[in-house]
Amino acid sequence: MVRAFISVGSNIEPENNLRNAIVRLSSTVRIRAISTVYRTEPVGPPGQPSYYNCVLEIETDLAPRDLKFRLLRRIENELGRTRGLDKFAARTIDLDLILYDDLVMITEDLTLPDPDIPRRPFLAVPLQELAPGLVLPGSGMHISAVVSAQLRMDMMPLKNYTEHIRKELLHERKL
């Protein structure tokens, strides 16, 4: 089994879609932890609704490409995600493999660790919460240093929603 981290985001019915994505994911992988869920402002042009974002720590025996393209993309499709020319378009769900053990991988359609971690607080902050001693593979950057260098003024922790999700999905279902 390999330790990996998945980012989860939604700005279309996020309360339902975040939960539904985590439930579907839990049928195939073991979810070890769910970070705090944050409400964040969208990246890209203004006018979109806010996002709910979190990171999951999982254990899986799936290879990175299978995890991303067979499992995560399938769940996105099941929850109505459409991909178009606008990469900043609103979405029902966005599932990204951001870290896969200590693997460094650069291909045309998959880069690990995710190169956006140092630029996106909604990835780095929850990742630090789940793995405070993490050193990003290939770069030697400590996640704590990455988080310290980022501005997080547009991130609001959703403590009640987070506790509800954790209680329902981690404690009651024994994921």
> 138-161, pLDDT tens digit by residue?
999 999 999 988 876 678 899 999
Angle at 94 between CA 105 and CA 42, to 5 degrees: 110
Average pLDDT over residues 36-60: 91
- Catalytic residue, chosen from 19, 24, 39, 91, is 91
Q: Which of 19, 24, 39, 81 is catalytic?
A: 81
Q: Is 116 a catalytic residue?
A: no
Tokens read off for 146:
């990455």
Asked if residue 45 has a cis previous peptide bond (ω within 30° of 0), the answer is no
Show the 3-state SS of 96-141.
EEEEECCCCEECCCCEECCCCCCCCHHHHHHHHHHCCCCECCCCCC
Provide the β-strand partners of residue 3: 59
91 is an active site residue: yes
Is 65 in the active site? no
DSSP 174: -
Identify the active-site residue in 32, 65, 96, 166. Answer: 96
Q: Is position 102 annotated as part of the catalytic site?
A: no
Indicate the residue type of 1.
Answer: M
Among 3, 32, 94, 116, the one annotated catalytic: 94
Which tens digits make up the pLDDT trace of 113-139?
A: 999 999 999 999 999 999 999 999 999
Q: Which pTM value belongs to this model?
A: 0.91
